[in-house]
Structure 1
Amino acid sequence: MKLYDITRELFSTAVYPGDPEPTAEPVSEIQKGDAFNLTRITLGTHSGTHMDAPWHYIPEGKTIEAVTLEQTIGPCHVVSMEGKVTREMLETAVPEGCERLLIHGEIELTCEGAGYLAGRKLQLLGVEGMTVGSEETTDQIHRTLLETGMVILENLDMSRPAPGQYVLVAAPLRMKGMDGSPVRAVLMEGENLQVTPKCESASECGSGRKLVLFDL
């Protein structure tokens, strides 16, 4: 099995205009005679590589702790695109049954493209940029996507994985009532890598099902 870390380093990556700058401050330091090292960090919910929960734009949407692991872990399709991403481009690039889509490249998702992805009922969309649209359209595009229950990964580093099929692991921090969270996003590649629901009973084979990852 091969792993691709698609997460940007938190303190050195660019910060979206208006967002708080991540900072780190020592609380205790061994070199100063303390028994251990301990650091206080300050950051925004959308610092670095992060996930937007529906509540980021949708008042009745899920907050980050309500986003299920099944939504953020599972089969994922990676495509490469540049410039304005239209409905027509997505119709060609996104395979049938795709639930998680990551886009490599400097892109601006158009409103029509966002509407198409919303209609495809994606679980998750990921992009390399700090936002999914242009400055003029980003609010509208976020609402179009997030009102479906989709989550959005932003500020990914997609420089290593080639287009194709992977398994994505991108779980957010478990923080009650938050609109987003930094994540450690990883793509897994293996010839026989699968994600299989493991159900103890019929009632478990729904939103609460367990996931088993294995590479034979």
Structure 2
Amino acid sequence: MTRYDLTHPLTDGMPVYPGDPAVSVSPAATMAADGYRVTGLALSTHSGTHVDAPSHLLADGRGLDAYDVGTFAMDAHLVGVEAGPREAITPDALPADDSADVVVLRTGFDAHWGTPRYRDHPYLAPETADALAERGQHVALDAASPDPSPPTGDADGEPEGYPAHRALFEAGLLVFENLRGLDALPSRFRLTASPLRVEGDGAPVRAVAVVED
């Protein structure tokens, strides 16, 4: 089997969602001064490649601690998204096979990581999120959000707020954001995306695709 790392590195000053705390990675002890190395790390629960739990937006939503560790090892179905910048991903993009634990959306916007264009990714139409919620499938994507990212600009028909997040969260489902390197993957694979063990609304993950040779 072959493993593919789908995770953006955590680096000092890396891109964050508008309004989120900055990421800081800096030396706290050095070999030259202290004889050993310790690195200070400051970040939010939604930094880099991460998972959103329902408590992110729902007052009574489940936190990550409510999910069994096995939840984060999933059968995945990869879908290539043909929607353009700030266009809605409609239900006809979803795979007919609904047996996968997670639908992974390849938008190609990981190529724009660290640039303003990264915020112009496609997003789930509300009815698409509703369909996934009914099917009980988690969502993962190589973009910042399944909802439009700010600033929303003048795009016609963009939903306000976070309807895709809410539809999925109300069904107890998880959202994995900011994946990378999906181009090398087949349509079916095993995805592991284990978060840091925090009782929170989200956490960084190490996302890895496992592909049978």
Give the TM-score of the pair, scaled to structure 1: 0.80
Tell me the distance in 2 between the aligned counterparts of 1:150 and 1:94: 19
Mark the runs of 5 or more structure 2 residues left unpaired by the alignment: 108-120, 150-158
Q: Which residue of 2 aligns with 1:147?
A: 170
Alignment match, 1:209: none
Q: Rg bigger for which structure?
A: 1
CA apart distance, 1:181:
0.1
Matching residue within 92, 95, 102 for 1:88:
92
How much does 1:62 deviate? 1.3
Residue identity over aligned pairs, in percent, reads 32
Describe the shift of the 1:179–1:140 C-alpha distance in structure 2 as closer, same or farther (beyond 3 A): same
Question: In the aligned structure 2, how far is the partner of 1:140 from the partner of 1:69?
Answer: 27
Letter in 2 for 1:145: L
Q: Offset at 1:138?
A: 4.8
Q: 1:137 to 1:163 in 2, by over 3 A?
A: farther
Change in Cα spacing, 1:183 to 1:151, as seen in structure 2 (3 Å) is: same
Q: Which runs of 4+ in 1 moved over 6 A?
A: none
Residue 31 of structure 1, CA deviation: 1.7
* Residue aligning to 1:199: none
Q: Distance in 1 between matches of 2:167 and 2:30?
A: 47
- Per the alignment, residue 72 of structure 1 pairs with 72
The 8 Å contact of residues 166 and 187 in structure 1, kept in 2 or not, is answered as: yes
Residue in structure 2 matched with residue 173 of structure 1 by the alignment: 196
Question: Shift of residue 26 of structure 1?
Answer: 1.7
What is residue 118 of structure 1 aligned with on the other side? 133
Give the equivalent residue in structure 1 for 2:40.
Answer: 40
* SS of equivalent to 2:127: helix
Q: Give the counterpart letter for 2:143 in structure 1.
A: G
CA gap of 1:119–1:174, structure 2 versus 1, over 3 A, is same
Q: Which amino acid aligns with 1:85?
A: I
In structure 2, the partner of 1:102 is: 104
**Which residue is equivalent to 1:189?**
211
Matched letter for residue 167 of structure 2 = T
Once the two structures are superposed, residues 138-170 of structure 1 have per-residue CA deviations (whole angstroms, 9 ceiling, x without a partner) of: 512111111111000001103443341111110
**Residue 127 (structure 1) aligned to one of 124, 141, 158:** 141
Quote the offset at 1:19 in angstroms.
Answer: 0.6
Greater RCO between the two (CA within 8 Å, min separation 6)?
Answer: 2
The CA distance in 2 between the partners of 1:37 and 1:167, in whole Å, is 35
Quick one: distance in 2 between partners of 1:165 and 1:5? Answer: 16
SS at match of 1:185: strand
* Aligned counterparts of 2:167 and 2:186: Cα–Cα separation in 1: 25
Please say if residues 79 and 93 of structure 2, whose CA atoms lie closer than 8 Å, have aligned partners that are also in contact.
no
Task: Kindly state the Cα deviation for residue 14 of structure 1 after the two structures are TM-superposed.
Answer: 2.2
Q: Is 1:161 aligned to residue 189 of structure 2?
A: no
How far is 1:89 from its partner? 2.1
Asked if the contact 2:14/2:22 (under 8 Å) is kept, the reply is: no
Instruction: Provide the residue aligned with 1:21 in structure 2.
Output: 22
Report what 2:53 is aligned to.
53
Q: Check conservation: 2:193, 2:207, Cα contact below 8 A.
A: yes
**CA displacement, residues 150-198 of structure 1 (integer Å, 9 cap, x when unaligned):** 000001103443341111110111112x11000000000114xxxxxxx
Scaled by the length of structure 2, the TM-score of the pair is 0.82
Superposition RMSD in Å: 1.6
